Amino acid sequence: MLSIAVIGAGRIGHVHAKTIAAHPQAELALVCDPFEDAAEKLAATYGARSCKDAEEVFADPEIDAVIVGSPTPLHIPHLLAAAKAGKAVLCEKPIALDMKDVEAAKAELDAVTTPVMFGFNRRFDPSFAAVRAAVRDGRVGDLEQLTIISRDPAAPPVEYIKVSGGIFRDMTIHDFDTARFFLGEITEVYAAGQNLDPAIKETGDFDAAVVTLKAASGAVATIINNRHCASGYDQRLEASGRDGALFAENIRATTVRLSNAEVTDAQEPYLDFFLERYADAYRLELSAFIEAVEKGTPTPTTTDDAVKALALAEAATESARTGKPVSVA
- Taking the domains of the chain in order of start, what are their residue ranges? 2-92, 122-277+301-327
Greater confidence (291 vs 276) lies with 291
Average pLDDT, the chain: 96
Q: What is the DSSP letter of 252?
A: B
pLDDT of residue 272: 77
Phi/psi of residue 29, nearest 5 degrees: -95, -35
Which CATH number is 122-277+301-327's, of 3.30.43.10, 3.30.360.10, 3.30.450.80, 2.40.50.140? 3.30.360.10
Q: Where does 148-216 have alpha helices with state H?
A: 158-163, 167-170, 172-183, 198-201
pLDDT of residue 271: 85
pTM of the model: 0.95
pLDDT of residue 327: 98
Question: What number is the average pLDDT over the span 265-285?
Answer: 89
Q: How far apart are CA 241 and CA 246, in angstroms?
A: 8
Fold of 2-92: Rossmann fold (3.40.50)
Checking if the pLDDT of 83 tops 90, the result is yes
Question: What number is the average pLDDT over the span 88-104?
Answer: 97
Kindly report, residue by residue over 109-144, the tens digit of the pLDDT: 999 999 999 999 999 999 999 999 999 999 999 999
